[in-house]
């Protein structure tokens, strides 16, 4: 599923793109948005993953695959800041592009990052993030029957051309604010850093859906936190 080592920026891009695809697939599968035929099966060690694929019998899954491919284009260009969208539930993936350059350790003849990130640490962080997502999806309350799924990209304006839109996306003139009918709760699911890229995952949902999560997810996965102060209240801490 993921590269065996992360020694170059290109290998880092591959990992981040695949981690994004796995995460979105996990969310849509566990929330029951598409039929079984829309997913293929892959394995990450002992973890069975359901990955979205181009299922021509399901137009919804085809659209999501197209969106993910458009996100890949923006990631490769280092334009995308984060994407998110929903009212009942919001899943936010935020990306940062780091400037650290890998250095060669002459004694061990191995490539090490200035930030101290090694390939095994990246793989372990990816496993933990995916497991947390699966656990969270299993414990959230059911979605309404009449839901729609949308995706919105936000860019780094200082480097993104004004007329740029990746494949599958168009300019959105609607206001960026999202409103929940109930009391929103923000969960910090986790982050993965490769030394070249940083990807953070946040989930916002209504408090009334959180009963099982508070008793199971938080106690089982200690590092996972619930914040009522906003999705980016810890921004400086994780720079």
**Beta strands 39-44; 89-97: pairing state:** unpaired
pTM, rounded to two decimals: 0.76
The per-residue pLDDT for range 41-62, each reduced to its tens digit, is 998 888 899 999 998 899 999 9
- CB count in 10 Å sphere of residue 24: 22
Render pLDDT for 7-28 as a digit per residue (tens, 0 to 9): 888 889 999 999 999 999 999 9
Q: Considering only the top CATH level, what class is 9-100+117-219?
A: alpha beta
Cβ contacts of 71-77, under 8 Å, gap ≥ 24: 71/17, 71/20, 71/153, 71/166, 72/17, 72/20, 73/166, 73/167, 74/153, 74/155, 74/166, 75/13, 75/16, 75/17, 75/20, 76/13, 77/160, 77/164
Domain-wise residue ranges, the chain? 9-100+117-219
pLDDT digits (tens, 9 = 90+) for 126-183: 999 999 998 888 888 888 787 788 888 888 888 899 889 888 888 876 655 566 666 7
| Cβ neighbour number for residue 79 with a 10 Å cutoff | 20
Q: How far apart are CA 164 and CA 233, in angstroms?
A: 29
CA distance 36 to 51: 10
Are 16 and 2 within 8 A, CB to CB?
A: no
Q: Are strands 103-105 and 153-155 parallel, antiparallel or unpaired?
A: unpaired
């Amino acid at each position: 599923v993921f590269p065996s080592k992360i020694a170059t920026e290109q290998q880092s891009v591959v990992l981040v793109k695949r981690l994004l695809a796995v995460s979105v697939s996990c969310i849509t599968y566990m929330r029951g948005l598409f039929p079984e035929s829309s997913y293929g099966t892959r394995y990450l060690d002992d973890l069975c993953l359901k990955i979205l694929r181009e299922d021509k019998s399901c137009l919804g899954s085809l659209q999501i695959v197209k969106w993910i491919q458009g996100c890949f284009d923006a990631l490769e260009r280092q334009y995308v800041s984060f994407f998110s969208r929903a009212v009942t539930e919001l899943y936010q993936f935020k990306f940062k592009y780091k400037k650290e350059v890998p250095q060669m350790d002459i004694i061990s003849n191995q490539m090490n990052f200035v930030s101290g990130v090694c390939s095994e640490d990246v793989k372990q962080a990816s496993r933990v993030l995916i497991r947390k997502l699966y656990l969270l999806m299993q414990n959230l309350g059911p979605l309404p029957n009449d839901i729609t799924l949308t995706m919105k990209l936000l860019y780094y304006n200082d480097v993104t051309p004004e007329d740029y839109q990746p494949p599958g996306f168009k300019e959105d003139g609607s206001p960026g604010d999202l409103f929940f009918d109930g009391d929103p709760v923000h969960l910090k699911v986790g982050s993965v850093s490769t030394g070249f890229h940083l990807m953070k995952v946040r989930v916002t949902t209504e408090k009334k859906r959180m009963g099982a999560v508070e008793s199971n997810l938080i106690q089982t996965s200690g590092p996972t936190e619930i914040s009522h102060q906003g999705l980016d209240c810890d921004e400086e801490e994780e720079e």
